[in-house]
Amino acid sequence: MWLRDSLLWLLKEKIVGADGRRDRAVRALDVGCGPGFTMELFSPFVRVKGIDSDKDMVSACQIRGLDVALGEAEEIPFEDGSFDLVYCSFLLLWVKDPLTVIKEMKRVSNRWVVCFAEPDYGGRLDYPAQLSSLAELVADDLKNDGGDPFIGRRLRSLYSQAGMNAELGVHMGIWDLDKLLEESEEELKRLESGTSAMHLIEKLEALRVARNEAHRTGSLFQFNPIFYAIGLKNP
């Protein structure tokens, strides 16, 4: 949820406020809504439904009173043009065929088709230099889990193939020192839990030592680009 301010700014600046519409006049669909955090964030401003292919996610959302149903992004269970805004976040990196998903999102939208957040680990910067191998380790880990760590750079092409011009932008993924330490520790633990290879475990421990030292001296830095794309069905 570190993106929340940036996501809200996008929603209000580019969508809710764009046509001078009143709050909650926009009908929205969150595709691959997960635990529903983005739905909760947006629900004061748009009337939002969600779908997800994981029934545990659907139940978790329903328990919290969110309007969520089981559904596949590749075959969205709604009629053409059912929503004013169809959006996703951190979904395209996980799907096998992102173009089919974007086309489906366009089909059920009558106006906006928005990817609010997709990462690109190829654009990640880490400092000091000893930490630069982290981006590749994280990207490989994501690939092993079936994800596309470089989805961010493909957004323009995907929109274009789906017949839309995308307005592209990037969220400022720069954390303060303590938040960065916390996030970096989560990341190292995730990488450690995914391997039993001794050389990798030792490498990760060496990265932790370098990371702690950089935090202590106040030089630790990371930039993690998260892209967004806004398309219009009928510009």
Ligand X SMILES: C[S@@+](CC[C@H](N)C(=O)[O-])C[C@H]1O[C@@H](n2cnc3c(N)ncnc32)[C@H](O)[C@@H]1O
- Rule CB under 6 A: is residue 100 a binding residue for ligand X? no
Nearer to ligand X by Cβ, of 16 and 33: the residue is 33
DSSP assignments along 84-103, one per residue? EEEEEES-GGG-S-HHHHHH
Helix 134-144 / helix 177-193 crossing angle, nearest 10 deg: 50
- Rule CB under 6 A: is residue 78 a binding residue for ligand X? no
- Rule CB under 6 A: is residue 138 a binding residue for ligand X? no
Nearer to ligand X by Cβ, of 87 and 159: the residue is 87
Kindly indicate which of the ranges 14-22, 32-40, 208-216, 223-231 contains the residues binding ligand X, using the contact rule CB under 6 A. Answer: 32-40
Kindly indicate which of the ranges 87-95, 107-115, 151-159, 185-193 contains the residues binding ligand X, using the contact rule CB under 6 A. Answer: 87-95
The span from the CA of 63 to the CA of 85, in Å, is 24
- Residue 128 CB coordination number (10 Å): 14
Nearer to ligand X by Cβ, of 46 and 91: the residue is 91
Tokens of 207: 């990265």
DSSP assignments along 129-195, one per residue? GGGTTHHHHHHHHHHHTT--TTGGGGHHHHHHHTT-PPEEEEE-----HHHHHHHHHHHHHHHHHT-
Closest residue to ligand X, judged by C-beta, is 34
Nearer to ligand X by Cβ, of 90 and 214: the residue is 90
* Residues 40-69, interacting with ligand X (CB under 6 A): 52-54, 57
Specify the amino acid at residue 29.
L
- Rule CB under 6 A: is residue 26 a binding residue for ligand X? no
Residues within the interface to ligand X (CB under 6 A): 32-34, 37-38, 52-54, 57, 72-74, 89-91, 94-95
